[in-house]
Every structure is written in structure tokens, then in C-alpha cells.
Amino acid sequence: LQVETDLVGLLMLGEKRSGDMYTLQDIKFLKMLSPELAIAVKNAQLFGRMEKKIAELNALNKVATSLSSTIALPKLLDGILEEALFVIGAESGSIMLIDEETQTLRIETARGIDPEILARTEIKMGEGVAGWVAQSEEPLVLVDAEDERFKKDLRRAEIISSLAVPLKTKDKVIGVLNVNR
């Protein structure tokens, strides 16, 4: 199934129910049908991507609306995390903010994380995933807990995949957004 130069799929048929062999007429029919099927598949793929982009734009719009209103910080962070988890399709996540005095990160809001972990988590700049992201000011994608630097931490929290991005205001990192699974 091909649209222009893109191969979008393959149509394979097994034996005919009747047990008969395929004929030239069957082949001609499939040759006429395959471009239509290919276009339908391509359109479905494009529609799926468009739906994802619309969800992302809606999430950004909600966050922008929240930012422009006089909303309390905990409620704002909660909304941002909720939208990030929804758009990305993650199971759990948190937003950590930097305490300027102690130079540590503390969880301000979270979803799907054990309350015991929430209560005792305080990460120094440069340590662990969030500490590294805050200090380096670079996002970090971890898949299958393969990064040796963070393997132990991820296994302890039973995290297979994770995405952590720095939260910045102008040129300053103020925290880290983490999403998992």
C-alpha cells in the first residue's frame, strides 16, 4: 500500500475460502483497491497526528490561560502537571521547584507517586535525574533504565521510561517537570 513514495502498509491475503486459486481478475481488483486503501491508511495516520497536535495545543492554551489569571501557585502547578501527563500519556509525574537557600529540589505537586516518597524527597542540585536536569539545564529522556548514572534510582522507583525537563524563567532554572511510564 503506497501513497506517492511512502509505503504505508501491506495487504496480504491467505487462501480463498472456496479453496480456488487467485485469478488475474482478483489481482486486477486488488491493484485497483490498494491505492484507495493506502490513501485511507495515510489519512487515518495524519488524522491521528492532527488529533495529538490539537491535544497539545489545547493543553498549551489551558496552561497559558492559567498563567494569565490570578491563580495560586499550587493550583497552577497542579494544572500544568495534569495537562503534561494527559498530552504525553504518562502514568505518573511531578513538578519539583528549587529552594534557593538550600539549593535542593522539592516536589510541589505529583500524580501517581507513593506519598511516602513525596514526603521524604529532597534532591541536591546535580544529584539524581532531577538534580542533573536542573544543573545542566538540559532535558533528559531515559528509556529502559539504561543510563548507568540513574539506573539505581529508576529501578528503586520501578520506572522504566522517564522524561525530565527543566522549568525556566528567562535564563534561570526554577524547577524540573518529570513524567514517567
The three three-digit cell numbers of residue 79, written as one number = 494544572
Please state, in angstroms and rounded to a whole number, the distance separating the CA atoms of residues 93 and 107: 10
Q: What average pLDDT score do residues 91-98 get? A: 92
Contact, 8 vs 42, CB < 8 A? yes
> Of residues 176 and 66, which shows the higher confidence score?
176
Please state, in angstroms and rounded to a whole number, the distance separating the CA atoms of residues 143 and 129: 13
Question: What are the tens digits of pLDDT across the range 121-148?
Answer: 888 999 888 999 999 999 988 877 566 6
Percent of the chain with pLDDT over 70: 86
89: pLDDT strictly greater than 90 = no
pLDDT at residue number 58: 75
Note the pTM of the prediction, 2 decimals.
Answer: 0.64
pLDDT at residue number 157: 60
Contacts of residue 173, defined as CB under 8 A and 6 or more positions apart, other chains included, come to 98, 134, 137, 166, 167
pLDDT at residue number 42: 87
Contact, 133 vs 150, CB < 8 A? no
Percent of the chain with pLDDT over 90: 33
pLDDT confidence bin for 23, thresholds 50/70/90: very high
66: pLDDT strictly greater than 70 = no
25: pLDDT strictly greater than 90 = yes
